Chain A
Amino acid sequence: SSELTQDPDVSVALGQTVRITCQGDSLRIHYASWYQQKPGQAPVLVMYGKNNRPSGIPDRFSGSNSGNTASLTITGAQADDEADYYCDSRDTDGDHLVFGGGTKLTVL
Chain B
Amino acid sequence: EVRLVESGGGLVQPGGSLRLSCSASGFTFSNYALTWVRQAPGKGLEWVSSISSSGGRTYYADTVKGRFTSSRDDFTNTLYLQMKSLRVEDTATYYCAKQVVTVGVTGQFDYWGQGTLVTVSA
Binds A, one of B22-30, B67-75, B105-113: B105-113
- Interface residues, chain B, CB within 8 Å of chain A? 35, 37, 44-47, 50, 59, 61-62, 95, 100, 105-110, 112-115
Task: Find the A residue at minimum CB distance from B57.
Answer: A95
Residues of A within 8 A of B100 (CB): 45, 48, 54
Task: Find the B residue at minimum CB distance from A101.
Answer: B44
Residues of A within 8 A of B59 (CB): 95-97
Task: Find the B residue at minimum CB distance from A86.
Answer: B45
Would you call B47 and A97 a contact (CB within 8 A)?
yes
Would you call B114 and A86 a contact (CB within 8 A)?
no
Would you call B50 and A97 a contact (CB within 8 A)?
yes
Docked Cα-Cα span, A97 to B64, in Å, equals 13
Residues of A within 8 A of B115 (CB): 42
User: Known contacts A42-B95, A95-B59: does B109 contact A86 (CB below 8 Å)?
Assistant: no
CB distance from A51 to the nearest CB of B (A): 13
4 smallest beta-carbon distances between A and B, as pairs: A42-B112, A97-B47, A102-B44, A48-B108
Q: How many residues of A contact B (CB 8 A)?
A: 24
Docked Cα-Cα span, A90 to B32, in Å, equals 16
Would you call A45 and B109 a contact (CB within 8 A)?
yes
Would you call A43 and B44 a contact (CB within 8 A)?
no
Most chain-A Cβ atoms within 10 A of its Cβ — which of B61, B112, B115?
B112
CB distance from B113 to the nearest CB of A (A): 7
CB distance from A45 to the nearest CB of B (A): 5
A23 contacts the other chain (CB 8 A): no
21 contacts between A and B (CB under 8 A): A33-B107, A33-B109, A42-B95, A42-B113, A42-B115, A43-B95, A48-B100, A48-B108, A84-B44, A88-B45, A88-B107, A90-B105, A90-B107, A96-B47, A97-B35, A97-B59, A99-B37, A99-B44, A99-B47, A101-B44, A102-B44
